[in-house]
Amino acid sequence: MKEIILDTETTGLSVKDGHRLVEIGCIELENLIPTKNKFHCYLNPERKVSEKALEVHGYTDEFLSSKKKFKEIVQEFLDFINGKRLIIHNAEFDLSHLNNELKIIGKETLKNEIVDTLQLARDKYPGSSLSLDALCKRYRIDNSKRVQHTALIDCDLLSKVYVNLIDQKEPTLNFNSETIDNKYQKDNKVLYFKKIIKPSDKEKLNHSQYLKTNLKKNFFN
């Protein structure tokens, strides 16, 4: 299954105050493993960056003034995410800005399936600090390169956090079942699905013989 880790940076917090996108970053995952496919762009927001946003990402008005406008990259972006589940931390924020940009140029809002890793973290660790930095610390993920917020660095970190949040770092094998449906569910909606196939008797015998032959200490006598 292909999924997209997505992050944005903006001129400020709320679209209600006229704030716009300044950066979009996407990393593609296939079966939870990053592929080489990425989408990244800086954007000319056609307005000034707020002081607080500048402190967060460091993108100045001068730097952004020469970048493409959203309408110039929108089709490439939509083609990249088409039909793929979007994995976003605090999805409400990013989606509000993305959909606002789409509305400005007369396009439909996003219809992709969304997984909000902030909500996953709230379900798993209620009452805890759940920022991306806090989750990196919890899972011992090196975030030393995150001096300021940048979309691609944040996507890279979120891809590692996501794998830990859905407990897929080391899938558990149960050979007593024909198949195992390994799901994360919320409100009866499957957010992740992985099927594990039962090995045949011959495959289990071959595996046992391999262990007997190759392990330094024989645990099978």
Choosing from 19, 57, 89, 149, the catalytic residue is: 149
Q: Which of 150, 122, 173, 126 is nearest to 56 (CA)?
A: 150
Query: 149 catalytic, yes or no?
Result: yes
Distance of CA 153 to CAs 59, 93, 157, Å? 15, 18, 6
CB 47 within 8 A of CB 11: yes
Long-range contacts of 57-60 (CB under 8 A, 24+ apart): 57/9, 57/22, 57/23, 57/148, 57/149, 57/150, 58/148, 59/9, 59/22, 59/23
Catalytic residues, by residue number, are: 149
